[in-house]
Amino acid sequence: MAAGALSRGLGVLQSMVGYPEGLPLARIAEEQDLPKSAAHRILVSLVDEGFVRQHEPSGNYALTLKIVSLGLRHMASSTIFELAVPVLARLAAESGQLVRLGLVDGEQLLWVAKSQGSRAGLRYDPDHGSEIPFASSASGVAWLSCLTDDEALRLVARQDYDERHPAGRNAPTSLAEVQSRIHQARERGWAHVHDSVEEGISAMATPLVDSGTGAPLGVVSIAGPSLQLPDERMAELAPHLLETAVELSGLAGSLSQEIRARAGLGVPG
């Protein structure tokens, strides 16, 4: 990307800081001294990359949490974040696998923290900070299980499966199959997949919910090589996963608010 284009893109992002309700295209173009057509092209690219979303029905553009999630490693001074990390680390040690925390951001689910339980040998440790695929991942299905079927399937249908949302050989091939996975997760209390997002990788996840409203706040998951996470091992780990979710649920709402405050996004009412 040319230096000028990068500078304009960063300027557009900065324009939206502090406006959780978003800004109209005309306001952003005016603040950055850009033609509306140029500002629109930049915003379309930022939406495609997940850094910006467009509110309906206002059409305003607003920041997502993706930028913040990429920089969470620099948030060591956050008391709430420091409280969440040891909880993840404990489950990682108990499972010997990768444990991750995902938070809800609008209609997205983003990885924001992780702890690796495997110190040697075969291990799974991808980069985090990216949007979570709904239909094919245990975390996505766990979150969808907290929504109505209609709302869950609407979110699945609108998420494009391109290079940012890979799918393994066991990924669902129809909305009916996704719905079946959601129903199983609701009944069990946690979701699981084998070779669905990536070949040779299995995962299990359960939602974090607000104790007062029951609203989904995020997810906590365990993921690792499929050879190390067969169904029998998942059944052994399920009580630990559910206990961790209860503990993290109390922190997730505060953590989400703190992240938003640090990003200048405000706290949703």
**What is the predicted pLDDT for the residue at 120?**
60
Contact 228, 105 (CB under 8 A): no
Per-residue pLDDT of 97-118, as tens digits, reads 999 998 887 788 888 788 998 7
Q: Tell which residue, 197, 205, 203, has the closest CA to residue 225.
A: 203
**112: closest CA among 221, 215, 240?**
221
Before 57, cis peptide (omega within 30)?
yes
Q: Which residues contact 14 (CB under 8 A, 6 or more apart)?
A: none
Indicate the DSSP class of residue 99: E
Q: For 206-250, how does the pLDDT look when each residue is reduced to its tens digit (9 = 90+)? A: 999 887 777 888 899 999 999 999 999 999 999 999 999 988 887
Q: Which two tokens stand for residue 53?
A: 């979303």
Instruction: Measure the CA–CA gap between 99 and 194, rounded to whole angstroms.
Output: 16
Find, among 18, 15, 22, the residue nearest to 57 by Cα: 22
pLDDT averaged over the chain? 82
Indicate whether this model's pTM tops 0.85.
Answer: no
- As a whole number, mean pLDDT of residues 172-177 equals 91
List CB contacts of 127: < 8 A, sequence separation 6 or more. Answer: none
- What digits encode the pLDDT tens for the residues 27-84? 999 999 999 999 999 999 999 988 999 988 889 999 887 776 666 555 444 555 677 8
